[in-house]
Amino acid sequence: MKKSNIVLLVLIAVAIGVIVTVAGDFSTYETFATARQKEGKEFQVIGKLDSTKTMEYDPLKDANLFRFYVVDKTGETRPVVFYGTKPTDFEKAESVVLTGKMSGEEFKCSKILMKCPSKYKDDQVAMGKM
């Protein structure tokens, strides 16, 4: 074999190794059970607001403390603590993506991403009936 072929094979092997290493770090949506097994590690959990339980937010007492309950995709309900202000129209969100860590039985959330209902949904239904 030529030296150039050997160098090319080594470069390809290194590139594959880097890709496999980086691909293992991509975040995926997890459940509360997975986050509980690896307590202290940050995860993204997708779920829905549990409207049967009360939300706790008192901006006069502490504007940066928001507590609520979320049901994940397996049906497990957990209390969530978010150290920030309550997002506008939080109750209207179809689903939420929480970034954070499990701490005991609570999910300590550092970031909330809401998926809100489409304002065009009713327009599409109306157009379909024409």
Give the residue from 95, 26, 87, 31 showing the smallest Cα distance to 59.
87
Do 64 and 85 contact (CB within 8 A), yes or no?
yes
State pLDDT tens for residues 31-71.
Answer: 888 888 888 888 899 999 998 999 999 989 998 999 999 99
Above 80 in pLDDT, residue 11? yes
According to DSSP, the residues that pair with 114 across neighbouring strands are 96
pLDDT reported for residue 46:
92
| Dihedral sign of CA atoms 33, 36, 42, 46 in order | positive
What distance lies between CA 101 and its chain's CA centroid? 11
* pTM recorded for the entire structure: 0.69
Question: For all residues of the chain together, what is the average pLDDT?
Answer: 84
Instruction: Please tell me the class of the 28-117 domain.
Output: mainly beta
* Domain positions in the chain: 28-117
